[in-house]
A and B are shown apart, each in its own frame.
Chain A
Amino acid sequence: MDALPGSIAIRESQDLYSWILTSHVVSMCAFAGLVLMMDLRLLGIGNMRTPFSQVHRALFPWQIVFMTGSAITGLLLVYAEPLRFYSNFLFWIKVVLMLMASINALAFHRGTYLTIARWEAKPMPPFGARLAGAVGLTLWAGVVVAGRLIAYNWFTMP
């Protein structure tokens, strides 16, 4: 992949690389920020004037939009420097954390979320929902931290 013309073109164009990286940061902030706002409601510590189902319905489509933006720009960044990411331990940590966060979101949608009609009217969501919120929050924060620290090229492998 490292030898593909497109990969070399992005890597060697400072403007193109910078704009892809900046777009990645902007869409990531929007995505993670909206996930945080939803998880705060799920935890019962923020946005309490709005029921969880409404927060979820309003924000979920936008989370998908910004996640798609982050994913496309993220894949382009990996495409531009595949060998750099392949040998960076923090990159693989980030990938694993993203997978775990996705599984957590899926498990919540297939589990506690199905019974929302029963807890919708109560201000505080049930334990399962709060747990999913706390796990999601921690995992996505870990993704952001690992992603930021990739830049320092620490813990690189041969």
Chain B
Amino acid sequence: MTLLPYFEAMNDLPVSAAIRESLWVIAVINTMHLLFLVMFAGAVLLVDLRLLGRGAREQPLSDVARDAQPWLIAALIGLTLTGIPQFLSNALREYHSYLFWMKMAVLLVALTYTFTLRRYVTLADEARVGAATRRAAGLISIALWAAVVIQARLIGLFT
């Protein structure tokens, strides 16, 4: 059982071919994906720096996290909406790319982590979660998301 036929079908969709064959459409989509990535990186890093004790220390962690949340969600929606056409137009290339599967695996872990453990630590009462736990939570977040971005960039260079 292999996913290859599904990837071939997605690769052959009229919309995939249309994106592939128009140079400026993919350029616009790639650029928008990068702008949403910048927003996402800002919203994540703002809170991670605070978790590391290097951000806005005078402010409760949960306030910083609540403020960042709408930008994080908006950026994720933008990344998904621009990422899907990027994927469709290159479905077959992505299927054969080791880096693509690695990115998706780490992305799944990073998303799950961000909306469960990290969310719990950022919204919990600061007296109940130790500084070491917060620091670890911030470092894990930075490591996971950096890995996603690095692999994403390398897909374009090594496939």
Mutual binders A and B: yes
Residues of A within 8 A of B (CB): 14, 18, 21-22, 25-26, 28-30, 32-37, 40, 46-50, 54-55, 57-59, 62, 141, 144-145, 148-149, 152
Look across to chain B and name the residue whose beta carbon is closest to the beta carbon of A56.
B56
A21:B38 contact, CB within 8 angstroms: no
B49:A36 contact, CB within 8 angstroms: no
Among B31, B57, B71, point to the contact of A145 (Cβ < 8 A).
Answer: B31
B67:A46 contact, CB within 8 angstroms: yes
Interface membership of B139, Cβ < 8 A: no
Interface size on B, residues (CB 8 A): 38
Interface centre among B37, B42, B45, B149 (most CB of A within 10 A): B42
Residues of B within 8 A of A (CB): 23, 27, 30-31, 34-35, 37-46, 49-50, 54-59, 63-64, 66-68, 70-71, 146, 149-150, 153-154, 157-158
A141:B35 contact, CB within 8 angstroms: yes
A34:B157 contact, CB within 8 angstroms: no
Can you report 20 A-B residue pairs in the complex whose CB atoms are below 8 A from each other? A18-B154, A22-B157, A26-B149, A26-B150, A28-B38, A32-B42, A33-B39, A33-B44, A34-B42, A37-B71, A46-B67, A46-B70, A49-B59, A50-B56, A50-B59, A50-B67, A54-B59, A58-B54, A148-B34, A149-B31
Interface SS, A side: helix
A55 with B56: in contact, given A26-B149, A30-B45 (CB under 8 Å)?
yes
A58 / chain B contacts, CB cutoff of 8 Å: 49-50, 54-57
Give the A-B pair count, Cβ closer than 8 A. Answer: 98
A33:B56 contact, CB within 8 angstroms: no
Interface SS, B side: helix
Look across to chain A and name the residue whose beta carbon is closest to the beta carbon of B62.
A49
A54 / chain B contacts, CB cutoff of 8 Å: 56, 58-59
A62 / chain B contacts, CB cutoff of 8 Å: 45, 49, 54
